[in-house]
């Protein structure tokens, strides 16, 4: 027989409710303590007043924010044309590396070399080498634009990573799916296109979301070769106003975009884990 | 001439010989059951017949033509021989109907519209008419396995191979799948089964083969194998399997 109290709860439910209340109390107390420590201790540091003025200046933030937003449109633009190119190139490289036909052997070698090289070099170096090197060939306008070659640097680097993720997705499709498809008379190509790839792509959506988020941030690296995107614009304001607040403003703008995207990627990841159990 | 003839089929994985010189005749419309302990080579033999595994030695004839010639395009052979697996292996990103229509569309090159009535008719015949629009994970194990059978049948195969197709099912779902096999037998389908369902093999098979260590130790009519086995290995296996 189960004993119930006045609220109609069983013994265990009562115990669990108590435990829940207890952990909420502890979490609230420790959070309050940490915040209090920061609020009380940080202003006690000798440089706080100076840092407050140069990093958290409200007026500067309000004045520069609209211009920063404008500059962020350039980030979005570069992101918008790079991302699809990365998806396509990444998939092609993944397929090239899995190619079985001997005629495609050079493609396999190329795919492997490509991923090794572009995963092995810091992004900023690739941006420099391609972004300065190729326009240095003396190409006529508009082919000397740092937008083109900077974007290409990002596309090449990210395609290498994205290709590896696609490949892990292809490997994650159980070989019994291949057997079943082959047993129906499908060709290797049809098996890949109709059976393996659709499942592989679905399996790696959360990982690829994370790559998109990283790309969104790395677009700022192009500032080093010319384009006045948000990071560069913040730098211009810093020099003009002798104040670092525009950098904080830029960080806020990035967070407005990346935090929801990160949350969404995590949600997709968690859902996938649940589905696989 | 038998529909399907195996002559001295040998299959090795590295050092391990999984099929060790197997001879087998399967007549048109016959149901042959392969029995034996796990690892005896039943599944591998079926995969060899469907050219999913290349064989080391021997030959496999379909309608008298050697289909095990190295270098032969396996696609045409596979589209004539259907196979159903223990773990269903339905494509999870397609509905049951799409699963069954994929191969006819891709391999035979017929349009969706041209093949759909025929495939729907198959679903209806096996009691799945209201399940065609479902994805595999919305179906019970028994339903999934029946969809897998329909998918193979949609290619209008001449021979069907069944690899322990009831082994992954809850006991109460086994019956609905075995009923499908009986229907196919009535329609004159040529079938080879690897199975642990001794009762079914005894009741429905035309011939039963007992495999051990990649060899057919004993074969014959079900009654002969189950009631008066001659070989000691067969007796020992049946004693354990029928316990």
Q: How many CA atoms lie within 13 A of A146 on its CB side?
A: 18
A162 and A211, same domain (yes or no): yes
The rounded distance, in Å, linking the Cα atoms of A127 and A221 is 7
Q: Which CATH superfamily does the domain covering B1-80+159-243 fall into?
A: P-loop containing nucleotide triphosphate hydrolases (3.40.50.300)
Domain count for chain A, please give it. Answer: 2
Q: What is the rounded end-to-end Cα distance, in angstroms, of chain A?
A: 34
Tell me the CA distances in angstroms from B202 to A93, A124, B180, B229, one per residue in order: 54, 72, 16, 13
Q: Which residue is listed with tokens 């990002």?
A: A154
B107 and A194: CB-CB below 8 Å? no
Give the mutation candidate from A172, A179, A185, A203 for the B interface (greatest B CB count, under 10 A). Answer: A185
DSSP A244-255: SHHHHHHHHHHH
Q: Does A76 reside within a domain?
A: yes
B52 and A195: CB-CB below 8 Å? no
Q: Does A2 reside within a domain?
A: no
A window 174-203, beta carbon within 8 A of B:
176-177, 179-187, 190, 194-195, 198-199, 202
Question: Minimal Cα–Cα distance from B72 to chain A, Å?
Answer: 13
A61 and A39, same domain (yes or no): no
Which residues in chain A have Cβ-Cβ distances shorter than 8 Å to B85?
176, 179-180, 183
A27 and A109, same domain (yes or no): no
Tell me, what's the ipTM? 0.93
pLDDT, tens digit, 9 for 90 and up, residues A93-125: 999 888 777 888 888 899 899 999 999 999 999
Q: Select from B132, B97, B144, B94 the least CA-distant residue to A202.
A: B94
Of residues A183, A186, A199, nearest to B83 (C-beta):
A183
The rounded distance, in Å, linking the Cα atoms of B59 and B6 is 6
Lowest mean pLDDT among A17-21, A135-139, A200-204: A135-139
> Phi/psi class of residue A86: alpha, beta or left (left: φ > 0; alpha: ψ in -120 to 50)?
alpha
> Max alpha carbon distance in chain A (Å)?
89
pLDDT, tens digit, 9 for 90 and up, residues B177-215: 999 999 999 999 999 999 999 999 999 999 999 999 999
B89 and A202: CB-CB below 8 Å? no
Residue spans of the domains in chain B: they are: 1-80+159-243, 90-157
Residue A253's domain comprises 57-276
A98 burial level (CB within 10 Å; 0-12, 13-18, 19+)? middle
Of residues B82, B89, B102, nearest to A176 (C-beta):
B89
Lowest mean pLDDT among A4-13, A74-83, A100-109, A210-219: A4-13
The rounded distance, in Å, linking the Cα atoms of A111 and A107 is 6
A vs B: CB pairs below 8 A: 61
Q: Does A5 reside within a domain?
A: no
Sequence-distant (6+) residues with CB within 8 A of B9 are: B19, B21, B22, B23, B24, B45, B48, B55, B57, B58, B59, B60, B68
Of residues A176, A179, A185, nearest to B79 (C-beta):
A185
pLDDT, tens digit, 9 for 90 and up, residues B22-69: 999 999 999 999 999 988 999 999 999 999 999 999 999 999 999 999
Q: Does A215 reside within a domain?
A: yes
Structure tokens at A147: 């937008």
Which residues in chain A have Cβ-Cβ distances shorter than 8 Å to B87?
176
Q: Does A92 reside within a domain?
A: yes
């Amino acid at each position: 027989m189960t004993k119930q109290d006045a609220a109609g709860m069983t013994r265990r439910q009562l115990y669990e409710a108590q435990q829940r209340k207890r952990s909420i109390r502890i979490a609230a107390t420790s959070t309050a303590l940490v915040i209090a420590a920061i609020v009380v201790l940080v202003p006690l540091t000798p440089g706080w007043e100076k840092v407050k003025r140069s990093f958290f200046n409200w007026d500067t933030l309000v004045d520069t924010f609209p211009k920063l937003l404008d500059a962020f449109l350039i980030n979005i633009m570069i992101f918008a044309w790079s991302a699809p190119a990365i998806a396509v190139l990444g998939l092609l490289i993944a397929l090239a590396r899995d190619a079985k036909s001997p005629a495609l052997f050079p493609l396999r070698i190329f795919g492997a070399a490509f991923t090794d090289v572009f995963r092995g070099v810091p992004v900023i170096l690739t941006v420099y080498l391609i972004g300065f090197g190729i326009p240095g060939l003396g190409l006529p306008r508009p082919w000397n634009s740092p937008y083109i070659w900077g974007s290409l640097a990002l596309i090449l680097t990210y395609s290498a990573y994205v290709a590896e993720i696609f490949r892990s997705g292809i490997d994650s499709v159980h070989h019994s799916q291949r057997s079943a498809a082959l047993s129906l008379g499908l060709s290797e190509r049809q098996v890949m296109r109709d059976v393996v790839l659709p499942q592989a792509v679905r399996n790696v959506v959360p990982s690829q979301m994370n790559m998109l988020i990283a790309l969104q941030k790395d677009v700022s690296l192009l500032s080093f070769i010319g384009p006045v995107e948000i990071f560069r614009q913040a730098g211009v304001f810093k020099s003009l106003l002798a104040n670092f607040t525009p950098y904080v403003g830029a960080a806020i703008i990035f967070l407005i975009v990346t935090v929801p995207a990160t949350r969404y990627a995590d949600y997709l990841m968690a859902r996938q884990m649940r589905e696989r159990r | 001439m038998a529909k399907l003839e195996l002559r001295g089929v040998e299959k090795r994985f590295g050092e391990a010989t999984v099929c060790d010189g197997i001879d087998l005749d399967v007549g048109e419309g016959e149901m042959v059951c392969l029995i034996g302990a796990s690892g005896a080579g039943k599944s591998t033999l079926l995969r060899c017949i469907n050219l999913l595994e290349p064989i080391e030695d021997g030959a496999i004839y379909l309608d008298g033509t050697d289909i095990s010639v190295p270098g032969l395009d396996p696609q045409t052979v596979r589209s004539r021989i259907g196979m159903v697996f223990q773990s269903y292996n339905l494509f999870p990103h397609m509905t049951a109907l799409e699963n069954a229509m994929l191969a006819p569309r891709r391999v035979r090159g017929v349009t969706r519209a041209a093949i759909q009535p025929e495939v729907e008719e198959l679903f209806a015949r096996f009691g799945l008419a209201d399940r065609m629009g479902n994805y595999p994970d919305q179906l019970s194990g028994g339903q999934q396995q029946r969809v897998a059978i329909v998918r193979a049948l949609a290619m209008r195969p001449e021979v069907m191979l069944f690899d322990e197709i009831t082994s992954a099912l809850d006991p109460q779902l086994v019956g609905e799948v075995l009923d499908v096999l009986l229907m196919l037998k009535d329609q004159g389908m040529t079938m080879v089964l690897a199975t642990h369902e001794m009762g079914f093999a005894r009741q429905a098979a035309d011939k039963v083969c007992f495999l051990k260590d990649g060899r057919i130790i004993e074969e014959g009519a079900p009654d002969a194998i189950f009631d008066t086995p001659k070989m000691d290995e067969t007796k020992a296996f049946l004693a354990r399997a029928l316990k």
